[in-house]
Amino acid sequence: MVHVGIRFTVLNEESIKALMPVDSQTRQPFGLQHDGASVVLADQWHSVKLLPEHGRSSSAFWAA
């Protein structure tokens, strides 16, 4: 996801790893990561994990 900088670094049958920076777009006024940003990261990770179960290959995610 471009808006908050989520980047999938590993995507294979055994593992999915994603990174998201804590910066001005994901930080709350107190300087900590906003809980909503954590939910977005978890949601994206879970969506990618479910791709093969819905008849789509993980490579289709990268082509989109």
Q: Could you give the CA distance from residue 58 to residue 11 in angstroms, rounded to a whole number?
A: 7
Q: Which amino acid is at 34?
A: H
State how far the Cα of 11 lies from the Cα of 45, in Å rounded to an integer: 10
Statement: residue 1 has pLDDT above 60: no
CA–CA dist 64, 60 (Å, integer): 6
pLDDT band at residue 64, thresholds of 50, 70 and 90? very low
Q: How far is CA 38 from CA 17, 20, 29, 57, in A?
A: 14, 9, 15, 25
Write the pLDDT tens digit of every residue in 12-54.
878 889 999 989 888 999 989 899 999 999 999 888 888 776 6
pTM of the model: 0.68
